[in-house]
Structure 1
Amino acid sequence: MTDNDLPPRLGNLTFHGPLSEERAVRMIERIAAVSPATVLDIGSGWGELLMRVLEAAPDASGVGIDINAEDLARGRLLAEEKGLADRVEFVEESALGTERGPVDAILCLGSSQALCDPDLPHDPAAALRELRRLVRPGGRVVLGEGFWERTPTDEELAGMWPGARPDDHLLLGPLVDLAIEAGFRPAWIETASREEWEEFESGYRHDTEVWLAANPGHPLATETRERADRQRASWLKGYRNVLGIAYLTLVPVD
């Protein structure tokens, strides 16, 4: 079986999260305005946002760290295509306790769990303390973090990921309070729109759904179909309009 026989993975996504082009541009402008020399992307995936920051800040270099080798390889190819291979490095390693700071700017979108002990429940307060440790005075952190739009019902929780609990996330206010307690001021607070969520959720499965329609008898079709159906049901019957993503642009307090 060759790679061409396998269902495609995330090829229809620009960013690995509910993030529009328009919002990304504004985020990048706010980071580039402080002229960072060093940028760290925690849980970078293929690093599209990281490379756009480097394009907007031509004196900067960047490092993307992730544990997914396939995504990192995609990032290296994109860096070659964009002419950024000499300014960005993609490294396969854990972010837990990383010594890749302090830096001038940090991106951590949907990846704060990478900064926390995997044997303990996710702790956004611990992740924020780590981000504060890793950023230089005068720098910027862009954190993309899940939060509850409202407290989910038992029925909604049952439709989400296995073992979903009310304390898996905070409401937005308490999340921002944690950022302040960790030593930041929230310079910009924004949240993903319904349209951004729908673009992401549909884009996440688009190539797989098209592949399934064209390959119903493939040896991997049953497994792939069940996985796609579970993912879609988890969104539509569980966290849709309940789980939000906050994008916080944070400034460290001197």
Structure 2
Amino acid sequence: MTDSSPPPRLGSLTFHGPLSEARATRLIGRLAAAAPADVLDIGCGWGELLLRVLEAAPGAKGTGIDIDAEDLARGRVLARERGLADRVTFVEESARGTDRGPVDAVLCLGSSQALCDPGQPHNPAAALSELRRLVRPGGRVVLGEGFWERTPTEAELAAMWPGARTDDHLSLGALVDLAVEAGFRPAWIERASRDEWDEFESGYRYDTELWLAANPGHPLAAETRERVDRQRSSWLGGYRDVLGIAYLTLVATV
């Protein structure tokens, strides 16, 4: 029997990005060691990393900003389940020009575009300048940002997202240099592994693939199948082993 419900969404993901439990634990430990009083999460999604930071830093309060109401609702449920509802606020609003800083710690994983002009190409320098504005001197930022592991070929670009260009991302070195220019010291530089990418990409589609296999005649099956097939092809034929994610632990200069 065909299920009448719509396809599921991201239920198999812990983090909305290629981030392992082990790496998350290390990132959180470096943030918590500074005993932040307040933490801001830009593009927080359901706030899994934010909630874990608050668990590791019991003196901290947190605010998560996102424009996805469904993700924010999931975050509020998680906060209640973990006894953190009185220490975290999830807010549905744009992060561009936000006045919710300065704070002791900022999380911005895969969402720096939320700090930039949506009418212009993504500008990592502008995003880093905004992050510096949002953190106090001596405070810390964990930035998850895309970079090219190597220059993509024309065929790889054609298989990626529509209009993909070589100047969509920087090299890792150029990205770190921009962070220094923005007023940070790069205390820790790391990047997502292939295993983390594979786990994320498969988890991103897992529930939907199971749904498609069980519901081939559902009214939404054709468009859902086209979407996930396009996403998978973009990954396997385009950016796999080409697009990297850097995790930078940045300390704001005094």
**Residue aligning to 1:252:** 252
Following superposition of structure 1 onto structure 2, how do residues 22-101 of structure 1 map, counting pairs within 5 Å? Answer: 22-101=22-101
* Length-normalised TM-score, structure 1: 0.98
CA distance in 2, matches of 1:4, 1:64: 33
Does residue 173 (structure 1) correspond to residue 173 (structure 2)? The answer is: yes
For each residue in 1:210-239, what CA deviation from the matched residue of structure 2 results, as whole angstroms up to 9, or x when unmatched? 000000000000000000000000000000
CA distance in 1, matches of 2:57, 2:86: 14
CA distance in 2, matches of 1:128, 1:228: 32
**Residue aligning to 1:115:** 115
CA distance in 1, matches of 2:236, 2:179: 30
Stretches of 4+ moved more than 2 A in 1? none
Residue 240 (structure 1) shift: 0.3
- Alpha-carbon distance change, 4 to 101 in structure 1, aligned in 2, over 3 angstroms: farther
Q: Percent identity?
A: 81
Residue 138 (structure 1) shift: 1.5
**Residue aligning to 1:207:** 207
Residue 98 (structure 1) shift: 0.3
**Residue aligning to 2:7:** 7
CA RMSD of aligned residues (A): 0.8
Could you say what secondary structure the match of 2:156 adopts?
Answer: helix
CA distance in 2, matches of 1:210, 1:48: 24
Contact 2:4-2:218 within 8 A present in 1 as well: no
* Unmatched tracts of structure 1, length 5 or more: none
CA distance in 2, matches of 1:211, 1:243: 28
**Residue aligning to 2:131:** 131
CA distance in 2, matches of 1:28, 1:54: 9
CA distance in 2, matches of 1:146, 1:68: 21
Could you say what secondary structure the match of 1:74 adopts?
Answer: helix
* Length-normalised TM-score, structure 2: 0.98
Q: Which amino acid is 1:231 matched to?
A: Q
**Residue aligning to 2:232:** 232
Residue 137 (structure 1) shift: 1.3
Residue 4 (structure 1) shift: 6.7
CA distance in 1, matches of 2:210, 2:33: 41
**Residue aligning to 1:145:** 145
CA distance in 1, matches of 2:163, 2:43: 23
Q: Which amino acid is 1:69 matched to?
A: A
Residue 53 (structure 1) shift: 0.1
Residue 252 (structure 1) shift: 0.6
For each residue in 1:159-217, what CA deviation from the matched residue of structure 2 results, as whole angstroms up to 9, or x when unmatched? 00000000000000000000000000000000000000000000000000000000000
CA distance in 2, matches of 1:222, 1:16: 25
